[in-house]
Amino acid sequence: MNAAIRAVVRTAINSGITPYGIYRGYRGMIEDEIEEMDGHSVSNILQLGGTILRSARSNRFRTPEGRQIAYDNLKKHGIEGVVGIGGDGTLTGARIFMKEHPDIRFVGLPGTIDNDLVGTDYTIGYDTAINTAMRAIDKIKDTANSFDRLFFVEVMGRDAGFIALRVGIATGAEAVLIPESKTDIDELVHRLRKNSLKRKNSALVIVAEGDDAGGAFAIADQVKAKGFEQYEMRVSILGHIQRGGSPTCMDRMLASRLGMEAVKALVDGVSGVLVGKKCKDIVYTPFEKAIKDKQKLNPLLLDIVDLLS
């Protein structure tokens, strides 16, 4: 997100526009945490994880009264357009705000590690998250191989399995359990037993946190209850380490391009759209579609897991 902020600020300045930073999202919009920014404000932030503008949820912004205060603060600073970086919550808030105050234009940038927003091939933060998870799992596999262990590793993905699937393929997992497909514990045990017959030193199961059979601990207990004893079992939950750290080159490039394109969209009078990148092209997706629809998983990725395990 910092790369996107930097791109928005510097593109605005080069377009003769005065940029402002709104700290803590919609909460900061209500509490008037709004500051003018210049080129120096975004110096040396490309390599930083998180966001220099911070983030926060705001129940007050869910009310017409709260949004009116936010509007008054934007007008006080002479702000005519807003670039919001986030997911469904950010876009939903922007869509409602624009209906009440149409003289303020909004464009959105896809900022979520889950990669489940339509209108873009990849979201800001996704590449960093999967590489962070991959490196952590590579280290876990060192232990698994040394001690003949079966590891259940839980990654983020409450509603989507994009992280789990790509990380599972990249780390050679025997199985990947995701919200988009129903988990069959008997089939999982059968697969793991076949794996042990191949005289492999270890086994790895990647579990998305939103899988229907439960989290990694619950699934490990169910596998153990089936009498599976070929490997000693361990569970590891990667948690929020996937949401931090220095962003990858791909994420910095994507965020920089989309940040620049967001300012161009506002200058051209475009509003109410998510700015994304599909097949190397910049595309605009209306907020309504971006909120309603979800990115679909490529079923070929599940086939790859099965074939290569």
286 burial class (0-12, 13-18, 19+ CB within 10 angstroms)? middle
Domain ranges within the chain, ordered by starting residue: 2-112+247-292, 126-243
Contact 206, 164 (CB under 8 A): yes
Provide the 3-class DSSP secondary structure of residue 274.
Answer: strand
How many of the other CB atoms lie within 10 Å of CB of 190? 13
Report the distance separating Cα 132 and Cα 245, nearest Å.
Answer: 8
Same fold, 2-112+247-292 and 126-243: yes
CATH architecture observed for domain 2-112+247-292: 3-Layer(aba) Sandwich (3.40)
Residue 302 confidence (pLDDT): 86
Whether residue 114 lies in the annotated active site: yes
Inter-CA distances, 280 with 62, 120, 123, Å: 36, 10, 13
Residue 16 confidence (pLDDT): 96
Give tens-digit pLDDT for 37-74. 999 999 999 999 999 999 999 999 999 999 999 999 99
Residue 194 confidence (pLDDT): 81
Residue 254 confidence (pLDDT): 97
Give tens-digit pLDDT for 133-170. 999 999 998 887 777 788 999 999 888 999 999 999 99
Q: Which CATH superfamily is domain 126-243 in?
A: Phosphofructokinase domain (3.40.50.460)
Contact 133, 186 (CB under 8 A): no
Residue 120 confidence (pLDDT): 95
Residue count of the chain: 309
**Starting at the edge strand that comes first in sequence, how are the strands of the sheet with 175-177 ordered?**
175-177, 203-208, 149-155, 232-237
- Closest alpha carbon to 53 in 42, 44, 63, 43: 42
Residue 247 confidence (pLDDT): 95
Q: Which of 103, 114, 138, 159 is catalytic?
A: 114
H/E element, 249: helix 249-267
Residue 159 confidence (pLDDT): 86
Give tens-digit pLDDT for 181-196. 888 898 988 888 887 6
**Residue keyed to tokens 């191989």:** 145
Low-confidence ranges of the chain (pLDDT < 50): none
Report the distance separating Cα 33 and Cα 77, nearest Å.
Answer: 11
Report the distance separating Cα 47 and Cα 188, nearest Å.
Answer: 40
Could you tell me the pTM of the whole model? 0.90
